[in-house]
Structure 1
Amino acid sequence: MDKTLLKGLMVLEAVTDVAHQPRTIDELATRVGLTRSNTHRTLQTLMHAGYVVKDEQSGGYRGTIRLFELGARQLAQLDVRKVALPAMRALAELTGETVHLSVLDGLDVVYVEKIDSAQPIRAYSMVGGRGPAYAVATGKALLAYQPEGYLERYADRLVRHTPQTITALPVLHDELRKVVRLGYSINRGEWRDGVGGVAAAVFNGLDQPIAALGISGPIERLSPKQMKEFAPHVQARALEISRAMGYRG
């Protein structure tokens, strides 16, 4: 393993954390667990490569447009995004909630497309952002169709985010079997308190789960009863996308 490359990627991820941008060298060093001098050298390399610039006003460091260009090229390869947009718009109009299209990456989901709710209070997320797959609806919809033993590889990463988070493997397996049986998944405020969601998996022509379509919003509006009512619509739109991707199951 190339430790220098790994350090560079760690620093780059910390720099591009939009919730705390720009970051100073000391903040970055603390976040990634490197010495100040090591962090400084890594930043100089990233600046030379054009991925990071120094903000003269704050003295911190931030990512450049080159990062967006790389991400945009990768997202352009995910044809499911283009195929899914009409169904996502229809679902957003029907439910009035935020609509997500997610893909699975290890024990995380990555949001590759979204349509924001027009409601003044809505679930916060961003394209390119991540969430714990076992604690969000789109993630559970994808985990439910993974090979046997998949979750066991990540057992030590099942951490509690809210009192509702499921962290016990037997209970989580039961939850995922229920997802397969019903055809949709539910998030009952398991990642963020008061935020719930409904999702269904999207399959390709090889019957493989390639993404998940879901809606999310505050539980005071997206109640368990409301989620159950919306579930068939989420399933129908997910199936619509799957058919467009060649699914025949």
Structure 2
Amino acid sequence: MTRALTSGMPFRFGSLVPRPMDRTLQDGLIILEALAKSVQPRSVSDLAEQTELSESHVQSALDVFEHAGYLAREPVTGRCGLSLKLWGLGVGLFARLELKRKAQRHLSELALRTRETVHLSVLTGADVIYIDKIDSPEPLHASSDIGGKAPAHAVAIGKAILAFQSSHVVEEIGRHLLAFTPRTINSLDALQHELSAIRSQGYAVNLGEWRGTVYGLAAPIRRADGMIEAAVGISGPSTRLTPEMITLMAEQVVEAADEISRGLGYAGTGR
């Protein structure tokens, strides 16, 4: 029987019954879609007629979008259109899809070589999100879900990315560290010290800092401009992915990260 250890993911509790969507949110999404499909800026009355919502509801939603920076109004007519902020979100999504596409072959090769669960993640705030993964074929293995989150400071794949973020980002995250096991980094000084070591050796390690029985190893992925927002890593049970085995597998993980970086257009050398 296959047993899966959670790796950087909350334990599963089964299917959840979806709650009805809040009506205000639903109306806002309807208006947002109407604006996205419009070639020209729209008036409140136009949008109300198209969406079959009252003008007061439309105006309230537009005010919220404008305050959040997602809306641009024509100064003379007051007609509305979407701003480039929403376009920026789309570009970010496209970049993640491109990262996933470029990384797939290297994830598969790393999974074959290590026989451990392989993850591809990006940093979002204080967390990492798993955007792709390949489960280990071993009966006992680390398990996670694509789209799931883990605290960046407590997993190798998160620390591999954090090590190359600005001091401001690290300090902000360092003010709100939670301890999940006795080994979790729980102070800014300790975090900064470990991130410095990661920059020197080129990879990050997690020895039971998120889930006590799950160890991990990860290396950063560079974009064409050299920026680091993603990482590739492996996770497995501490009984198999021992510190000695992590040292032996480090070169393979770093090599996979470097190959993905080159696939994204990074032409630099060294770390």
* TM-score higher than 0.5: yes
Equivalence for 1:147: 166
- After superposition, residues 40-55 of structure 1 pair within 5 angstroms as 42=22
- Which of residues 91, 98, 102 is equivalent to 1:83? 102
Deviations 1:50-75 (A, max 9, x none): 9xxxxxxxxxxxxxxxxxxxx9x947
Residue 76 of structure 1 deviates from its aligned partner by 7.8
Equivalence for 2:15: 21
- Which of residues 158, 176, 194 is equivalent to 2:177? 158
Residues of 2 paired with 1:104 and 1:24: CA distance?
Answer: 27
TM-score scaled to structure 1, two decimals? 0.73
Residue 183 of structure 1 aligns with an amino acid whose one-letter code is G
Residue 45 of structure 1 deviates from its aligned partner by 6.4
Deviations 1:153-199 (A, max 9, x none): 12342000001100111111010000000000000000001101100
- After superposition, residues 1-12 of structure 1 pair within 5 angstroms as none
Deviations 1:78-134 (A, max 9, x none): 201011011100000000000000000011000000001001111121100000000
Equivalence for 1:133: 152
Equivalence for 1:236: 255
Residue 237 of structure 1 aligns to a residue whose secondary structure is helix
Alignment identity in percent?
41
- After superposition, residues 61-140 of structure 1 pair within 5 angstroms as 74=93, 78-140=97-159
Please, which runs of 5 or more residues in structure 2 have no aligned partner? 1-10, 31-89
Equivalence for 2:70: none
Q: Is the 8 A contact 1:80 1:245 kept in 2?
A: yes
Q: Is the 8 A contact 1:187 1:198 kept in 2?
A: yes
TM-score scaled to structure 2, two decimals? 0.67
Instruction: Spell out structure 1 runs of 4+ moving beyond 6 A.
Output: none
Residue 192 of structure 2 aligns with an amino acid whose one-letter code is H
Equivalence for 1:29: none
CA 216–148 in structure 1, closer or farther in 2 if over 3 Å, else same: same
CA 41–109 in structure 1, closer or farther in 2 if over 3 Å, else same: closer
Residue 203 of structure 2 aligns with an amino acid whose one-letter code is Y
Please, which runs of 5 or more residues in structure 1 have no aligned partner? 1-16, 26-39, 51-70
CA 245–164 in structure 1, closer or farther in 2 if over 3 Å, else same: same
Residue 97 of structure 1 aligns with an amino acid whose one-letter code is E
Residue 197 of structure 1 aligns to a residue whose secondary structure is strand
RMSD: 2.6
Residues of 2 paired with 1:41 and 1:207: CA distance?
Answer: 41
Equivalence for 2:34: none
More contact order relative to length (CA 8 Å, sep ≥ 6): 2
Residue 145 of structure 1 aligns to a residue whose secondary structure is coil
Residue 99 of structure 1 aligns with an amino acid whose one-letter code is V
CA 24–85 in structure 1, closer or farther in 2 if over 3 Å, else same: closer
Residue 211 of structure 1 deviates from its aligned partner by 1.0
Deviations 1:6-34 (A, max 9, x none): xxxxxxxxxxx963532487xxxxxxxxx
- After superposition, residues 198-217 of structure 1 pair within 5 angstroms as 198-217=217-236
Residue 137 of structure 1 aligns with an amino acid whose one-letter code is A
Higher gyration radius (CA):
2
Q: Is the 8 A contact 1:75 1:112 kept in 2?
A: no
Equivalence for 1:176: 195
